[in-house]
């Protein structure tokens, strides 16, 4: 049994401000950061262990946990009762409406840091150098050599790193670490209590 204790739907819009590139594709991708977001839930398991999980995002290479196939994913878990939200059992429809209702919080005000992890197999390491005429600034990236490639850990608080993470199609995960309190309104303010009514 998993209980989602709190949620963050993080927008990357502020990273787009004041950025531009002479590479037209990268420039478009920098501006497109205004439409990027990721939804996280703080999950508590039966032993009381807490961890943040990315449920859904606009990152093209990252699989959503919301759906995952037949009897897989957070929506099915909510429907079957294996996942609750703030202790309440929700039907699949109510759970999806709940996720839709989460307000966007800009990463600058979220009180957390995000890191994306990418696995680049052997033979594809040239992708780490750049895209088109654009050269990635790797100064903030942690690159670890593996037997079958490299693992790259990129901070998602910098525009070009988010653009790299979104476009790579080799993203494996996002980790969220809370560093302070979010300055945003708590998600449940204004949220219909009827949504939390017990499902039949």
Tell me the C-alpha distance between 46 and 175, whole Å: 21
By CB under 8 A, tell whether 79 contacts other proteins. Answer: yes
Site string for other proteins, 45-74 (x = CB under 8 A): -------------------x-xx-xxxxx-
Q: Could you give phi then psi for residue 136, rounded to 5 degrees? A: -65, 140
54, 75, 112, 162: residue in contact with other proteins (rule CB under 8 A)? 75
Within residues 151-170, the interface with other proteins by CB under 8 A covers none
Radius of gyration of the chain (CA): 18
Residue 177 is a binding residue for other proteins (CB under 8 A): no
Quick note: the x/- pattern for other proteins over 101-140, rule CB under 8 A, is ----------------------------------------
- Measured at the CA of 41, the angle between CA 200 and CA 101, to 5 degrees, comes to 65
Nearest to other proteins of 64, 117 (CB atom): 64
- Judged by CB under 8 A, does residue 198 bind other proteins? no
Q: Do residues 36 and 165 make contact, with C-beta atoms less than 8 angstroms apart?
A: no
User: What is the per-residue DSSP string for 136-152?
Assistant: ---TT-EEEEETTEEEE
As measured in angstroms, the least distance from the Cβ of 112 to other proteins is 26
Q: Contacting other proteins (CB under 8 A), which of 34, 97, 138, 175?
A: 97
């Amino acid at each position: 049994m998993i209980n989602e204790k709190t949620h963050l739907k993080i927008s990357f819009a502020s990273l787009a401000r004041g950025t531009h590139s002479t590479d037209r594709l990268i420039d478009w991708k920098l501006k497109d950061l205004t439409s990027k977001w990721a939804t996280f839930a703080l999950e508590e398991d039966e032993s009381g262990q807490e961890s943040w999980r990315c449920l859904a995002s606009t990152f093209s290479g990252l699989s959503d946990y919301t759906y995952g196939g037949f009897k897989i994913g957070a929506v099915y878990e909510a429907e079957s009762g294996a996942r609750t939200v703030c202790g309440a059992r929700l039907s699949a429809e109510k759970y999806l409406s709940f996720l839709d209702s989460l307000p966007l919080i800009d990463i600058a005000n979220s009180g957390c840091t995000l890191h994306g992890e990418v696995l680049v197999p052997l033979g594809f390491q040239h992708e780490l150098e750049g895209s088109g005429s654009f050269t990635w600034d790797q100064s903030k990236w942690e690159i670890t050599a593996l037997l079958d490639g490299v693992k790259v850990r990129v901070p998602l608080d910098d525009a070009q790193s988010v653009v790299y993470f979104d476009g790579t199609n080799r993203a494996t995960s996002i980790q969220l670490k809370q560093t302070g309190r979010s300055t945003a309104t708590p998600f449940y303010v204004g949220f219909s209590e009827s949504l939390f009514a017990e499902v039949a």
